[in-house]
Amino acid sequence: MSLGFYITDLIFRKIFRQNAGTSWAIHHTSTIHSPERITRGKNVFPGDSPGVYINAANGISIGDHTNIGPNVGLVSADHDVIDNDLHTPAAPIVIGRFCWLGMGAVVLPGVTLGHFTIVGAGTIVTKSFEQGYCVIAGNPARIIRQLNKEECDAFAESK
């Protein structure tokens, strides 16, 4: 990240109080609700890409070395169908280690993505892919390619 990114982050989080509850740098066009409900691993900075929207009302866990692309949505809670001011309870979103969420992907409440799950650009993830080691794409998401588990695990051990 450039010095300009950190200066802009400082202005928006500390002066304008936008995303003030986060303890990491956020792109000024990203929005994070309930950042205290986000657990993040090593080298994970949700919202550092532009346009990211995160609602962590029911909790979100993100594993080490996971990348979140621009305009990604992580939505851990839906609104009540009658009273829009209420969030409905759901299981948290769990994202494994070494995952990659492509531009414009949306992950919905209760979804679990296993390690090394690559989410294609524009994908809508409505169900879990707990086994991981795959590329998913589409609306709704489906597996389009399996990854070599041994190759992925060897890569992870090198980090």
Catalytic machinery residues: 79
Strands 112-113 and 93-95: parallel
DSSP letters spanning 24-70: S---TT-EEE-GGGEEE-TT--TT-STT-EEE-TT-EEE-TT-EE-T
Tokens at 16, concatenated: 């304008």
Query: Are 138 and 123 within 8 A, CB to CB?
Result: yes
Q: Say how far apart CA 94 and CA 89 lie, in whole Å.
A: 15
CB neighbour list of residue 103: distance below 8 Å, 6 or more residues apart: 69, 70, 71, 72, 121, 122
